[in-house]
Structure formats: C-alpha cells, structure tokens
Structure 1
C-alpha cells in the first residue's frame, strides 16, 4: 500500500523564536511578549506629566525624609503601583481631539494607557529615587557648609556644586 500525504493548510506553522530574546526566567517568559506593537504610543502627554511629576516628587520626598534619624525611603515601585490607575484615569478623562502645532498633529489622549508608557514613567521615577542610594552626595556638602561652618551659600552655587558632582 502506498502512503497518502495530507496537507493541512489551516494549521499555522510554528513561529521561530530567537532563543537570545527568550528570558531564562519562566515568569518573565510567560508575561512579557518578545514582539513589539508599534501601534502603541510612547511619547504621550500622560507619560511626560506622570513621569516628570513622579521624578520630582520622589526626589523631593526622599530628600525631605533623609533628614530623619530613621529615614523613610520611597522607592520607584511605589510610583509604579500608583501610576497605573492614574494613567488609566487620564486615558479615560483627557480629551481625544487632535491639535496642530508647528505643522505636527498631536492629541493629549492618543489611546489606552499602555505598558510602554508605564515603563517610561517607572524609569523617570527611578531617576528621582536616586537608584536607592539616597540623595546626591553634594547635598551633604551644602548642609555641612550651612550648619557646621555657619556660612551662607547661594542657591546658584549650591545647585552648580550638586549638578557638577552628579554629572562628572
């Protein structure tokens, strides 16, 4: 008897997955897609507002609480948890109408709040949290100049000192 070959065109072929893109951690493999959805907006009004506010607030609050004898540290995880409902609220409340500015069209609400926006907001928050290492080292220098030496230092000089030590 001869063999009969049956061709089934309805069954999709398995997609080839690059093993370099696969995470060795099972939970990550199951929850994080290895493909990108280019239709999701990234640089949105929501991302900039929530990202900048979270960065500034986290930086301020951690610096404020660092003066306590047992400092309270607020991490970027707190912001990550708090910004998800805020982003979804903004997606529900902001207007979807489009405006034109300098020949480019934009909208305050380009669609549903997505994972890409949430990741960028978390990156902003991480920058404000000083990566868990506390405030900038030069803030201590400014405090020592004012408290222990009783000298005045201008805001501009303090800012310049802190920025130059952080950048270098």
Structure 2
C-alpha cells in the first residue's frame, strides 16, 4: 500500500493555488459564489468594457445565423418527425466562423456616408461578447411562427391562395398579440392604464 503525500501531488497543488487566486476579500461586492470550480476559474465576474461587442462580425454572423435557423426550423417543421435546431447549434458553428473572419478580414475602417459614423471590419480577435450577441441573434430566429400553419392549411386543404402581404400581416399580428404583453408597446398601459389620466 502506497502512501501519497498531497503536498507533492502537482495537480492537487495547482488546484489549491487556483482556488486561492479566485478568492475575494470578505467585504467585497464581487463575490464569485459559483459552486462549480470550472466556472469560477474560467468565467470572469467583471465586465471588460474594452472588448468591442456590436462589430461588423457580430451583425453579419448574427443575421446569417438568424436567417439560417429560421429557414431550417420552418423547413423541417413540415416533417412527420419534426427536426428542431436550437441556438446552441448556431453557437457551435459561429465560433470558428468568427475566428476565421478575425483572421481574414482587413483592419480597414469604413466611414458611413453623410454621417460621422465609422466602423472597423476587424477590430481585433473574436471575443466572448461577440459570440454571445451572435447567439442571441440566432436564438431570435430559432422559433417558428405559428400562423404559418394557417397559411399552409388554407393552401393545402382549401385550395386558396393568400396574398403575400396578407400572409405577412397575419403572421406578424398573431406573433405580436399572442406572444407579448401590450404594456411593452404602449407606455400608457405600463403606468396603470387610461385611469391614470
């Protein structure tokens, strides 16, 4: 039977050292109380305001991921066994694409005509904030619109054809009225309704 000394174990010694590095003072407002050690060691609890977030890469990858997920989920929604893709699949695909864009795009600054605004095509390495925002973009396209079923039924079973504008208004109106609260759109309702006038 071997006797192992825990002070000689390099992995255990490193883990103790890392735990002591992540400790915060007692009176500090920034307490990292995650029970999972890997989360405590890898996810910072503070924000780095120097990281760019709404970059050219974020908008391009986010909009493409949103369109891609919306198309695939709607396309595969007609199957007997529905195949659903979540934003995690886009999150996995977007990371190497973002790193590829960071490596290949030039560091050129473009100025928007007739404004004082300008942006860089490549402001630096692809970072965590860009990745999270791209995932949020993709998540907004991962849900299907339920009114598309109405449009499909009218076309498949009743032989009718809805005008594209009417179909779009139907989809938009049912999506807005059934999914969100009216107080989000009307500040008057958020403050207690017309009785406050």
Q: How does the TM-score come out when normalised to structure 1?
A: 0.83
Query: Match for 2:155 among 146, 150, 156?
Result: 146
Secondary structure in structure 2 of the residue aligned to 1:123:
helix
Deviations 1:34-73 (Å, cap 9, x if unpaired)? 1111110011000000000000110001100111111221
Query: Match for 1:156 among 137, 152, 165?
Result: 165
Residues 42, 116 of structure 1: 8 Å contact kept: yes
Match of 2:51 in 1: 40
Structure-1 separation of matches of 2:158 and 2:152: 9
Residues 79, 122 of structure 1: 8 Å contact kept: yes
Structure-2 separation of matches of 1:88 and 1:155: 39
User: Are residue 165 (structure 1) and residue 178 (structure 2) matched?
Assistant: no
Q: How does the TM-score come out when normalised to structure 2?
A: 0.71
Structure-2 separation of matches of 1:15 and 1:104: 45
User: Are residue 106 (structure 1) and residue 119 (structure 2) matched?
Assistant: yes
| Gap change, CA 1:147 and 1:90, over 3 Å in 2 | same
Give, in angstroms, the shift of residue 26 of structure 1: 4.2
| Gap change, CA 1:165 and 1:83, over 3 Å in 2 | same
Higher relative contact order (CA 8 A, sep 6+): 1
Aligned residues: 152
Secondary structure in structure 2 of the residue aligned to 1:126:
helix
Structure-1 separation of matches of 2:140 and 2:92: 16
Unaligned runs of 5+ in 1: 1-12
Match of 2:184 in 1: none
Residues 56, 119 of structure 2: 8 Å contact kept: no
Give, in angstroms, the shift of residue 30 of structure 1: 2.8
Secondary structure in structure 2 of the residue aligned to 1:137:
coil
Unaligned runs of 5+ in 2: 1-23, 178-197
| Gap change, CA 1:25 and 1:57, over 3 Å in 2 | same
Deviations 1:113-148 (Å, cap 9, x if unpaired)? 000000001111111111xxxx21101111111111
